[in-house]
Structure 1
Amino acid sequence: MKILLIDDHPLFLDGLSLLFAQEFPHAEVLQAQSLAEAEALLTGDAGIDWVLLDLGLPDSDGIAALERVHQLRPDVVCVVMSADERPGTILAALDRGAAGFLPKTTRHGELRRALQQMMNGGVYLPTTVLAAEPAGSTTPRPEAGSITALGLSPRQGDVLRLLIEGKPNKLICRDLGLSESTVKTHLAAIFRKLGASSRTQAVVAAARLGLQLPTPAAARSRQPLS
């Protein structure tokens, strides 16, 4: 696995790199201190799997950096890091395809747990979003927190994992060998089971439930199913 860390603070980059070396020794870590440096790496290295992106870069305006990363490499998993923990910022990042959100105030132990959770197919979001469940929400209760308990099939679990990773329908179709109509049918079922009406709401619901989705390796081991 190859991970690109994008942040303009060298000490923060070095701290994250050290954490990855300790917790994920199999991962190769690259660093960029600006969006321009990140663009060069993303276009020149097809092996990058994950991006951890700071929204406060000197040559980019917040969410625009996330949109640019997805424009260049819609196949990578992008997790946002930011000192701005407002629910609106977090939801905007999810809406633009972020696979998680790490506040820069996160303590070392919690940061380690969050990274492990996401690497294992889970979703990590700050409590400021998880606690703000809208009135009248139909999100299932946390004790129902497995795809089986929610009534989702293994293939729907695969679709949900890719949705959480920020993949558009076209890439979900490609990765799972499914038609667009089949993916849309699965998404409709996922939204219904999670009490969601959008991709962003589905990601938040999955985080609230503590869902662990199939890992990419497990998903690839299956034959394409409808």
Structure 2
Amino acid sequence: MHSLATILLTLSALATLVPAAASAASYRVDAAASDIHWRVYRSGALANLGHNHVISATQFQGSVELAKPPQKSRFLLEIPAAALRVDDPRLRHHYGREFAESIPADAVSATRANMLGPKLLNAGNFPIIRLRGEALVDNPPKKGNLTFATTMDIAGRRLRILLPARIVIAEDSIRATGQFTLSHQQLGLQPFSAALGTLKVSPQIDFSFSIVARRR
């Protein structure tokens, strides 16, 4: 799930916004000031017996080396699968009615175990979700909105996606924000299904991110 995956590449936006005379600069992702999470949804004829869930990344790290020209900049984001959190109460409250129901602790634990298990993230064999990439600079950015070419390594598979982000640059930091949707199929993951498919997880996954990186 990967998120999330776009986040680091969004930092490449810096490369297209930094003045041409600027020297190469190094930034480090500030996980404490950042947010990466995604929503998965119940589906099927017996969907009322299931729950919608919010998955959030914690303890992730990343960096970006800004070069000139921007196509030569390098980006990296690493998310430890074992540190993924299921159903942070703050995030559930933020998303309102669809996530308002109280979920028993055993259901949260079962969801997390299934997510990290061999049928999905296979965290025992692939503990890190890793993202690398570059900004697409064929066209000039419009009001800080850029698209990024992203390579994601997840659960022993590698995929490539194009993702949008909005970049804001401060004196010693940058922030990349955005939302996007992927499917389990795009990520090479098999969503949970039970009772002959009458209770299952929807193919759609909605991602949100707000990543802060600070100049070293």
TM class by smaller structure: under 0.3
Q: Which structure has the greater CA radius of gyration?
A: 2
Q: Greater helix share, 1 or 2?
A: 1
Q: TM-score, normalised by structure 1?
A: 0.26
Q: Greater strand share, 1 or 2?
A: 2
Q: TM-score, normalised by structure 2?
A: 0.27
The one of the two structures with greater contact order (alpha-carbon pairs below 8 A, sep at least 6) is: 2
